[in-house]
A = this chain, B = another copy of it.
Amino acid sequence: MEQRKIRSHISHQYDAELADLRSRVLAMGGQVEQQLADAVRAFSEHDAELAQLVVTNDYKINAQEVSIDEDCTQILVRRQPAAGDLRLLIAVIKTITDLERIGDEAERVGRMALHLAQTPHARRETTAPFADIEHLGEHVRRMLHDALDSFARLDVELAVGVAREDVKVDREYEGIMRQLITFMMEDPRSIPNALDVMWSARSLERIGDRSRNICEYVIYLVKGKDVRHTSLEHMEEEARSRKG
């Protein structure tokens, strides 16, 4: 009897540790999402102060990655998890890597925003892409948000939905690129600024890719299937399948 109580207590504590780990990932994700939203706003509103804040705050994201990573190692050593719990830990280790890199891309957008805000006439010279960048930024922020949501609710349907959005993001990105190339060829003086806009678009497009990565880990976590490097159709199939 006593032993059963202890075991239940231990397992209760273990559950609490795993729940805590999940919520730490979500908290980190929330901060990364905020960094991204701020970077895009600083970019579109030419807000140097906000841009600087994004650049300054990146270290907080990095620190969280290192700290959650340590928690995972601790749990692996002490609990020696199997099956579903082990998949959770592996999914967490991979997810926080992508979250940290999304933070890096947001920081890059912040740097470009800072640069552009300090360049007079930058906005006037390349007006149209600014609105498109804002749109692309909002699109990938929503993707990241949904990716985190699918992780929180273990919702594979939503995860597949995010992967579907990534195709649209890629098309949006290609459109911005073509537009910027035209700008640059028509007015070579706009090249340095247009390149800043280009790097920002590239960073946002990569954030879409990484949000999709997170969704792949969710499918791995729920279905036990590795859907990386597979087609969208295959991913949809696995998401519909029963756990293998």
Residues of chain B within 8 A (CB-CB) of A94 are 93, 97
Count residues on chain A whose CB falls below 8 Å from chain B CBs. Answer: 31
Q: Is the interface of A mostly helix, strand, loop or mixed?
A: helix
Interface bits A181-193 vs B (CB < 8 Å: 1, else 0) = 1001110110110
This chain's copy number in the assembly: 2
Measured in the bound complex, the distance between the Cα atoms of B80 and A153 in whole Å is 28
Measured in the bound complex, the distance between the Cα atoms of B82 and A63 in whole Å is 24
Residues of chain B within 8 A (CB-CB) of A70 are 226
Measured in the bound complex, the distance between the Cα atoms of B181 and A48 in whole Å is 24
Contact partner of A188 (CB less than 8 A), chosen from B76, B86, B185, B229, is: B185
Question: Would you give 15 A-B contacts (Cβ < 8 Å), ordered by A?
Answer: A65-B228, A65-B229, A66-B229, A73-B87, A76-B90, A77-B82, A80-B80, A93-B93, A94-B97, A97-B97, A184-B184, A184-B188, A185-B188, A185-B191, A191-B191
